């Protein structure tokens, strides 16, 4: 059985490339999930502030919703594949 162990692919590659998208990249980058969870963890505040429109607990809730959505998509893919 093949497993892909690339847990850092999303925050290091995908979220870092979003800002280069013309016209909308900077706005999209504000809403990337790992950037948002940094607000909850406090690393954004310690680096000089955050432009996230909600505080640390709202950031945690946003990230939790993202995690649940990815989990549900994963369940759907596995169910369809194994059907």
Question: What pLDDT is attached to residue 76?
Answer: 92
* DSSP 8-state class, residue 20: G
Question: What pLDDT is attached to residue 64?
Answer: 93
Question: What pLDDT is attached to residue 71?
Answer: 92
Question: What pLDDT is attached to residue 72?
Answer: 95
Question: What pLDDT is attached to residue 10?
Answer: 62
Per-10-residue mean pLDDT, the chain, length 83: 56 77 84 82 58 80 92 91 76
Q: Map 61-74 to HEC letters.
A: HHHHHHHHHHHHHH
Q: State the pTM of this model.
A: 0.68
Neighbouring C-beta atoms of residue 41, cutoff 10 Å:
14
- CA dist., res. 81 & res. 24, Å (int): 34
- CA dist., res. 43 & res. 59, Å (int): 12
């Amino acid at each position: 059985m093949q497993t892909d162990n690339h847990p850092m692919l999303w925050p290091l590659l995908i979220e870092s490339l979003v800002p280069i998208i013309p016209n909308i990249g900077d706005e999209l980058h504000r809403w990337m999930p790992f950037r948002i969870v940094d607000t909850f963890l406090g690393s954004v505040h310690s680096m000089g502030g955050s432009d996230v429109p909600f505080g640390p607990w709202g950031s945690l809730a946003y990230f939790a919703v993202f995690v649940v959505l990815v989990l549900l998509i994963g369940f759907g893919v596995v169910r369809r594949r194994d059907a």
